[in-house]
Structure 1
Amino acid sequence: MTSIRHTTLLCAALFAAAPLAHAEEAAPASDWTVPMSVTLVSDYIFRGQSQTWGGPALQFSIEAVHSSGFYAGFFASNVSDHRLPGAAVETDLYGGYRTKVADTIGVDVGAVYYMYPGANWEDSPFVGMNARNRLDTAEAYVALSWEWLTFKTGRTLNEYFGWSTNNSPPVLGFAGDPAAGVTGNTRGSHYFELNAAYDVAEGWNVSGQIGRQIVRNSTGLDITYYKVGVTRALPDGWSAGVFYSASSEPNAYKDFVSLDNGRSDSDIAKDKLFVSVTKAF
């Protein structure tokens, strides 16, 4: 009698637990992933040029990725008004679609909108070259990847960070090269670059980049840029990297006069070693 009772209780317990186990197994995985990160970098270098006048930057990034391949993201970083008139912060909104066309071949098509809240070329200290014009820039891009290599190109859909014949003209616009400057509408400025990222050992990644930025309707402003680096993955989502940035250093970017005070200057495209520390969530 006791044996029968124990068997009955065991069966009842199994039947009671079965719906719970089934519910746990049936819970669908989310179609979304939302990676985010915070990075401290000793210099914010964008296509060979310092955006922070050689100083450090604190950066935040978040991206929502759907299993279908669609994604949208947000990036923020402090910048310098010496380099970008009236700007203190850069905030980027971007989105697009990524997919695989073969096991090792991927395609990424999207657009990014660079925003500088409150910034305007009217904040430039150079009288007569400070007509009102925003820095905000829209850019469409496409990338093709194969294993650890990615080729990417993009084109601006409006003026290139507000550069115009008013604020960046030849003769007056660039102290390092008086002949350099904008000669027409900079809409349609474009870039192309080749990026590599390869895991050489567990937790170790080496990367490289070579690119070319072409400013439409300009002279002396196009720049070729390079970057190599090593990144080490650390526990709990941390990583650290050291990088070397170099460029063709056009004379226009040497002795670049501050767009905040009109007096100090900096070589904003000089070769430079910089480091980063990132926490991913």
Structure 2
Amino acid sequence: MRSPLSCAARRLLSRGALALFFLAGSAAANAASVSGNATLTSDYVWRGSTQSDADPAVQAGLALAADNGAYASLWASSIKFDSTPHASTEVDGVLGWRGQWTPDWAWDANLTRYQYPSAAALNWTELGATVTWKQRVWAQLGWSDDALASDTTGTYAQLGARYPFNERFRVEAAVGHYWLARSYADSYTHGLVSAVFTLPGIRQGGPGLELRLTAHDTDRAAERLFPDMAGTRVEAALQATF
């Protein structure tokens, strides 16, 4: 049985292309901006567990944002699960709204649909919100009535911070906790620390390049829920933004 949130998200995000066209079409009125990214990573790690069986993954995303704060985005990644060998791609659609209370405080509320074209049983939806202070500290909250496609509720919270040493180097760290229904699995905690290097562009005005080195770790509960997927691992990623 599909959850109410998933049904609503499917109706909304199945029209994601229309939302993208709407934002693009409103450029004259709201000066919509377009951005994108492409990433090559040694291991696609999400909330502490690998989504690519510790193999490299290719990722790309496109976002359209209006001046009034509305935005829509699509993001895709190659994936690999031993338990679901026919799953090869993840496509995430996001509809959201963001703004600022003050120059220091910003907020973002969104609806994310995690879609797996070749493995529909893995599809699920999450409501999310993030509050950021000075682009240095953030608190994130996510909730779903079908967390991880388990047909049970789940709440995810993350607290993170970044510290720029200069224009080309910064350090980021975050800790997250996933409260899951006892009927599904034990709740778990994970953490990460990243060193991020901004690289000179190949040409002036070309795509921005970042090299990110990240160490991930989880508790035993995550390892029980995701055998051979959670635990300690290191990820290296090169991302181009445009």
Within 5 Å, which residues of 2 pair with 1:72-111?
Answer: 72-84=72-84, 86-111=86-111
Q: Following the alignment from structure 2 to structure 1, what is the Cα–Cα distance between the partners of residues 119 and 62? A: 23
What do the CA deviations read for 1:161-216 (whole angstroms, capped 9, x no partner)? 333xxxxxxxxxxxxxxxxxxxxx41x21100012122211211211110001222
TM-score, L = length of structure 2: 0.80
1:137 alignment partner in structure 2: 124
The 1:154–1:271 alpha-carbon spacing in structure 2 relative to 1, beyond 3 Å, is: same
Q: Following the alignment from structure 1 to structure 2, what is the Cα–Cα distance between the partners of residues 43 and 209? A: 18
Deviation at 1:220, TM superposition (A): 4.6
Amino acid in structure 2 at the alignment position of 1:35: S
Within 5 Å, which residues of 2 pair with 1:1-281?
Answer: 31-84=31-84, 86-120=86-120, 134-147=121-134, 148-157=136-145, 159-163=146-150, 185-186=151-152, 188-218=153-183, 220-236=185-201, 237-250=208-221, 251-253=223-225, 256=227, 267-281=228-242
What do the CA deviations read for 1:241-273 (whole angstroms, capped 9, x no partner)? 11100111325146x3xxxxxxxxxx2112111
What do the CA deviations read for 1:103-131 (whole angstroms, capped 9, x no partner)? 101111111000000215xxxxxxxxxxx
Query: 8 Å contact 2:185–2:225 — kept in the other structure?
Result: no
Q: Following the alignment from structure 1 to structure 2, what is the Cα–Cα distance between the partners of residues 111 and 30? A: 22
Deviation at 1:73, TM superposition (A): 0.6
CA root-mean-square deviation: 1.9
SS of the aligned residue for 1:161 comes to helix
The 1:269–1:231 alpha-carbon spacing in structure 2 relative to 1, beyond 3 Å, is: same
SS of the aligned residue for 1:35 comes to strand
1:19 alignment partner in structure 2: none
Amino acid in structure 2 at the alignment position of 1:150: W
- Tell me the matched-pair count: 207
TM-score, L = length of structure 1: 0.69
Unaligned stretches of 5+ in structure 1? Answer: 1-27, 121-133, 164-184, 257-266
Q: Following the alignment from structure 2 to structure 1, what is the Cα–Cα distance between the partners of residues 198 and 30? A: 26
Deviation at 1:53, TM superposition (A): 1.0
The 1:220–1:162 alpha-carbon spacing in structure 2 relative to 1, beyond 3 Å, is: closer
Larger Cα-atom Rg: 1
Unaligned stretches of 5+ in structure 2? Answer: 1-27, 202-207
Runs of 4+ that moved beyond 6 A: none
